[in-house]
Amino acid sequence: MSIIEWEKDESVAVIQLNNGENRQNLAFAKIMAQVLDEIIANPEIDAAVITSTDKKSWSLGVDIDWLGRQFQDQAFDNIKQFMYGMNEVFKKLLLLPVPVIASINGHAFGNGAILSCACDFRFMKADRGYFCFPEVDLGIPFLPGMIAFVRKTLPEYQFNLMKLTGKKAGAVELAEHHVIEKACANAEEVLAESLSFAKTFHKKRGIFKEHKKRMHQHIIQVMDTEDAKYIEPLFLMIPD
């Protein structure tokens, strides 16, 4: 079983994150980009849903153990490839010519929460699971591009609160602030609601792609022009 797989459910591509906590590393970035390319190449797909096969976690963000090993081994090219690779994943999601729905059926922390923000819509289960940006406590700053597209998802006041405090938010609170479309009762409901919503989309790809391109062109510009200033010197963590 691959760490990321997808299958068709009528006109919807259901992307399954299969690696437990679904920590993000170089392999994650490469396989997710490949999956998104396969979906783009399939003209029968009208929408995509990203879910997790883990009962507790949707994605807990960067694979810190993997990252630590790369630093220890001085495999700096691997780290840069990972950062640029995740940026490619984020850009593909922002520009995908079909809607992408994050079906958050567990915790979404750090880069996991950020991944969901690159999607067009979000549903989340309310019975268990938190959404948070713990980077402020881990000494990890957001890249400029991340800030740009997270701001399309969270109201500025909520982004300011969550980014600077590391506050955990549940589905009910996120629904109140329109970060997600709906707080669902449990994992079964969140996937069902996500799929039901996805199946309402039958838009022409050309116009849908152009809408997303124009909406997000400023984000792509920031990612293309500013992120490298922090990735190239590996200015990814700030010590106390």
CATH number of the CATH domain containing 172: 3.90.226.10
In a domain, 62, yes or no: yes
Residue 193 CA to residue 54 CA, distance in Å, equals 18
In a domain, 180, yes or no: yes
In a domain, 196, yes or no: no
Give the domain range for residue 146. Answer: 4-190
Task: Determine how many CB atoms are found less than 10 A away from the CB of residue 231.
Answer: 18
Residue-wise pLDDT for 115-132, tens only, equals 999 999 999 999 999 999
Task: Determine how many CB atoms are found less than 10 A away from the CB of residue 78.
Answer: 18
| Stronger pLDDT, 235 or 208, i.e. the higher one | 208
Give the model's pLDDT for residue 235.
Answer: 82
Predicted confidence (pLDDT) at residue 96 exceeds the cutoff of 70: yes
In a domain, 66, yes or no: yes
Angle CA 117–123–127, to nearest 5: 120
Report the residue count for the chain. Answer: 240
Give the model's pLDDT for residue 175.
Answer: 98
In a domain, 217, yes or no: no
| Stronger pLDDT, 66 or 239, i.e. the higher one | 66
How many domains, the chain? 1
- The residue whose two tokens read 């792609």 is 209
In a domain, 152, yes or no: yes
Q: What residues pair up with 5 in beta bridges, in sequence order?
A: 16
Give the model's pLDDT for residue 239.
Answer: 66
* pLDDT band, very low/low/confident/very high, at 236 (cuts 50, 70, 90): confident
